[in-house]
Structure 1
């Protein structure tokens, strides 16, 4: 796939209102649709009477946006080493370049995870409580080079969040990669581990913006690396060990708690944000979406924000799981065919939580729902996977926005890539989510004002028919259409 073909799609067009000249609202409209648009320009259409009205309210201000992006896993970075230089550059430009999705918020794993080639730890010498043998050499062949290459491509830079799936097995009560708990006698050693990790990455020229204490502290049924915490245990570890250690060592890094599904978020918020003492070292909460396939749980997000309005909420992981990728089949990603990890095992009374769903909608619905309920950043899981949905030592196959076939050195940008770009490219770090009024319950909308004054409005139409729309900002307006089964980003430039 040629570079100019991929990035030739990022073309803007000015759409003018179909009424008096002084009320014209000049906007750029980009659309991705089941009909085949991929962030393509939308032609101006004269509409005498719009069906849907979206009124933008910039005076209504909500949370600041941190960013959007994906994850540097060993699986992704390994695959980037298996393809040719031209396609490696193509993917890096697509994710981080100025003509690409401009990812601004990313994640990586500390020690191995399921999307690693094998189990490994940076502290493999048993009983090394002072971590004299600590080494990040496992990351030097793949993850570190990919991060550095992405940094070289990114004009504005991006933030990195790092998460451990487990401590070294010798620090745990079950001496296993899967499950178990951190032994209390190693709490200080594990806190030191985080500090050393930050230092070693800094020596590579890579700054870590945030840490999560533990990926999925509730566990994963012992399927791959994990380590369990109760909310009280995590607060104890952070309050008395990790937080003080990071402060003593001079690390300016965010610490996010929980890092699992939203269905148990309230319980964790109640414990983490109980009082000033319990919350003082936590900068916020990391969340995942896997509890349900379509419900972004607005009540839970609102509750957590109200519990601690000054703390962050970051969606730290999401993917279309339990699926093997469909190669060069855009139509599949717009069909109600995908299932999730709960499709097979969920009891009858929970089947409704795990229906078949449209992969594109799952991404767009959740991002819009999260933004409209105080979430400040949204991170996808693997940036690149192969045609099997791996490599993955635990055989935990998933989808990724970009699929590669290293055997023939080919790349497939799925519709999910363009879906994510609708947000990451146009809603920039430091943007503020703003208000809007919408008179059609079948559409989903979010809006944000960027630091340069421009406003990005993202619209999702899941209906089987196109819709005419009128966009209103103050005294100005414009009309246009959104395709059936489509996502649009409308950019209103500042008039300064």
Structure 2
């Protein structure tokens, strides 16, 4: 089991040879042909910088510190929660949760939670469903009964393993009675229910906090420019989002004792003008803490452009799914590392979330929507077998190594080797690289007057860890 390997090698990663403190570089590599998956390889040695260049040079500057990281993770959809809660015997379920969220495993520290149903639910529902034609402006019928079935118990179990777990929550639709379609499918939020929808968020946040799984960020709508025809969704244009946030949701959340950040957009890279329009509204801008992004159209440069326009606002990457449309290990590994971890972090993102944490052998359970999505892990409901998919290793190459309080730090960029660097509070440095040159590449990494050398096979993804020059390994 990989968890056991991680637990063993985590000790090795922090160790240094006697008599030569802080000179060992730990190496964790995944190959493009999947023959090695986060394999712990022989340590490299830091030596005084010579000035000679061995291939591409990456310079790491630990004292140039950027954003504090929240972390890496995936979505606890109903499908994922139900599988984790019911598809495995309790002892195996607990081991898997410890592997996913524990420090000696993936150490996932960031989770996205649908508010009500997504396409990865067995039924379509909100937290305040009413018969057609009836309304509930006082939210008398608000209920957390469905989240209590699996989602909240599994989140509690995950938080028990990782007390630093941060939650971000998103509705796929407002309750049907709030919409002009009187349906969870398609439609717009009716303006007269803006106060009730703001109260809906507050009721949800209070309920989650009462259960011991408080939410730190929300977005007002998943993919607000998309109205799916067979699962919950809602069109929420930028002017309407700005008014809802600026006049209703923002002021209401500002009165809470525990702050909750509002993230706008939560949609693809291809329409940055939509979050820019919301941020241009001074009332909304006061309450929007950041922008959330998905991967299904456009490219990551949109994140950096919006962040440059509003550098005081956070950046988060909040959804991307692998699936049967991307069956090749090396291609998916490289693309996700390049775009969802390296480019996102370099664009200011404080965290990366993939889509479903767990799905079954039939890419579900789901009702509508994606029929061939892939979870971070696959749990076979018949045999109980657990498959750790390529997305598992994409996350692990970053999440396993970062600790609470880690920051992204400066590192030079090259065309042939993509990279991003982080620093843990104890002075441990992490450099994640991907050889995207199409041929083997020499690499020289320099930091604090020292350097180490490596040769990267085609498509190789490697995480290097070592102790910052002049810092005690504590």
Distance of aligned partners of 1:3 and 1:412 in 2 relative to their CA distance in 1, 3 Å threshold: same
Distance of aligned partners of 1:178 and 1:290 in 2 relative to their CA distance in 1, 3 Å threshold: same
Between the aligned partners of 1:165 and 1:493, the Cα distance in structure 2 is: 44
Between the aligned partners of 1:161 and 1:75, the Cα distance in structure 2 is: 17
Are 2:6 and 2:104, in contact at CA under 8 Å, matched by a contact in 1? no
Q: Is 1:333 the equivalent of 2:341?
A: no
Q: Is 1:385 the equivalent of 2:362?
A: no
From 371, 385, 391, give the equivalent of 1:410: 385
Task: Report what 1:77 is aligned to.
Answer: 81
Kindly report which structure 2 residues correspond to 1:21-420, keeping only aligned pairs within 5 A, or say none. Answer: 25-33=23-31, 34-44=33-43, 50-80=54-84, 81-125=86-130, 126-154=134-162, 156-265=163-272, 267-292=273-298, 295-296=299-300, 298=301, 300-321=302-323, 323=324, 332-334=328-330, 358-366=331-339, 367-394=341-368, 396-397=370-371, 398-420=373-395
Moved over 6 A (4+): 14-17, 21-24, 45-49
Between the aligned partners of 2:14 and 2:57, the Cα distance in structure 1 is: 19
Distance of aligned partners of 1:186 and 1:10 in 2 relative to their CA distance in 1, 3 Å threshold: same
Unaligned 5+ segments in structure 1 are 327-331, 335-357
Task: Report what 1:343 is aligned to.
Answer: none
TM-score, normalisation: structure 2: 0.90
Structure 1 residue 91: Cα displacement: 2.0
Aligned partner of residue 264 in structure 1, secondary structure: coil
Structure 1 residue 249: Cα displacement: 4.2
Aligned partner of residue 157 in structure 1, secondary structure: coil
Between the aligned partners of 2:276 and 2:442, the Cα distance in structure 1 is: 44
Between the aligned partners of 1:24 and 1:224, the Cα distance in structure 2 is: 53
Structure 1 residue 15: Cα displacement: 11
Are 2:422 and 2:429, in contact at CA under 8 Å, matched by a contact in 1? yes
Are 1:51 and 1:469, in contact at CA under 8 Å, matched by a contact in 2? yes
Q: Is 1:461 the equivalent of 2:461?
A: no
Between the aligned partners of 1:6 and 1:449, the Cα distance in structure 2 is: 20
Are 2:69 and 2:350, in contact at CA under 8 Å, matched by a contact in 1? yes
Are 1:72 and 1:107, in contact at CA under 8 Å, matched by a contact in 2? yes
Are 1:325 and 1:389, in contact at CA under 8 Å, matched by a contact in 2? no
Are 1:325 and 1:388, in contact at CA under 8 Å, matched by a contact in 2? no
Are 1:387 and 1:404, in contact at CA under 8 Å, matched by a contact in 2? yes
Between the aligned partners of 2:361 and 2:386, the Cα distance in structure 1 is: 10
Distance of aligned partners of 1:468 and 1:325 in 2 relative to their CA distance in 1, 3 Å threshold: closer
Cα-to-partner distance string for 1:441-491 (whole Å, 9 max, x where unaligned): 221101112222221100012355443322211211122333432211111
Task: Report what 1:339 is aligned to.
Answer: none
Deviates more, 1:177-186 or 1:243-252: 243-252
Between the aligned partners of 1:448 and 1:434, the Cα distance in structure 2 is: 5
Distance of aligned partners of 1:10 and 1:491 in 2 relative to their CA distance in 1, 3 Å threshold: same
Are 2:334 and 2:461, in contact at CA under 8 Å, matched by a contact in 1? no
Are 2:322 and 2:391, in contact at CA under 8 Å, matched by a contact in 1? no
Between the aligned partners of 1:244 and 1:476, the Cα distance in structure 2 is: 51
Between the aligned partners of 1:149 and 1:87, the Cα distance in structure 2 is: 13
Cα-to-partner distance string for 1:114-140 (whole Å, 9 max, x where unaligned): 011110121123421111221100011
Structure 1 residue 158: Cα displacement: 0.9
Are 2:293 and 2:303, in contact at CA under 8 Å, matched by a contact in 1? no
